[in-house]
Amino acid sequence: MSIDDIVECINIAKKLSVPIIALTGGEPTLRDDLSGIISLIRHIYPESKVHLTTNGIHLSLLQDTIDKPIDKLNVSISSLNIDVAKEYQGVNPNIAIDSLLNFPALHKNLNFVVDENNFNEIRSIIDFCIKNNIALVLMFDLSDNKSLEYYKQTINIVKNFGKFSIEGTTPRTLVCNVNNKMTIKIKHPLLSRKTKWTICKRCSNSDRCGEGICAVRVHPDGVVTPCLDKTVCAQGHTLSAKISKIYDILTMS
């Protein structure tokens, strides 16, 4: 995505009072101008919150180039085992974990997708997150026919660390409040089947979606959608018109 398009997105977000600008991908840290993009957001729309989702591959290079902590950092890893992690993501998990610990952010999440290759690591992941006061989000591989079984077993493990509540906007996400600084979230493998979002009922892929949320997503090719899937696309001659259209759909939902 060009800098001009990014600047336009920031200006539109400010005009619409969109509260959060989330930088995601692909892998956003592959851009060598990412710190400049973060600075642009803060300069143009200082009232917004900046979130970053990354696999941590180049996070260490970014941490020394930003002027103040971002609002939320989400680091996604697939395993603590180097061989498994490199097979899934091509990333050394030790580098990702080290970057997660050292990167300046007000809030930190560790995203972990559970499957048969890493299920035995859940307790180690939980212990690490509790020790470092990092929120943990446990998700499940939708293509794995054992995902529901892993989901149930994960609940049995996590319930030993605190009581569950249900997150309001995503009704099938279980939240375990371990302490006043750290939570563990367990996302149901079929989360979107009970979504509250009207827009999801129009999407042919909602039953296979693990997002459970809707956001205005601007793709590098100029397509604007309410989620990762491009089934529902905004029509318009300008980026501003397309973003406004999707935002209107979401806020009416």
Averaged pLDDT, 234-248: 87
Percentage above 90 pLDDT, the chain: 52
Domain ranges of the chain: 15-190, 191-253
Only one residue has tokens 């007000």, namely 106
What pLDDT does 221 receive? 85
Question: Over the chain, what is the mean pLDDT?
Answer: 86
Q: Mean per-residue pLDDT for 240-248?
A: 87
Q: How far apart are CA 185 and CA 181, in angstroms?
A: 13
Res 234: pLDDT: 87
Contact 171, 153 (CB under 8 A): no
Residue 175, pLDDT score: 92
What pLDDT, in 10s, does the model give residues 101-153?
A: 999 999 999 999 898 889 999 999 999 999 999 999 999 876 667 888 999 99
Gap between the Cα atoms of 245 and 133, Å rounded: 39
Question: Mean pLDDT throughout 158-178?
Answer: 81
What was the pLDDT predicted at 128? 94
**Would the pLDDT of 200 be above 70?**
no
Q: Give the model's pLDDT for residue 220.
A: 84
What backbone phi and psi angles, to 5 degrees, belong to 112? -135, 120
pLDDT score for 180: 85
Confidence of residue 170 (pLDDT cuts 50, 70, 90): very low
pLDDT for the residue 193: 45
CA 141, CA 112: separation in Å to the nearest integer? 10
Higher pLDDT, 182 or 171: 182
Q: Give the model confidence (pLDDT) of 39-97 as tens digits.
A: 999 999 999 999 999 999 899 889 889 989 999 999 999 998 898 888 888 888 999 99
User: 237 or 213: whose pLDDT is higher?
Assistant: 237
pLDDT at 17 over 50: yes
Query: What's the mean pLDDT in 17-36?
Result: 93
Of the chain, the end-to-end C-alpha distance in Å amounts to: 28
Domain 15-190 has CATH 3.40.50.300: no
Residue-level pLDDT at 212: 56
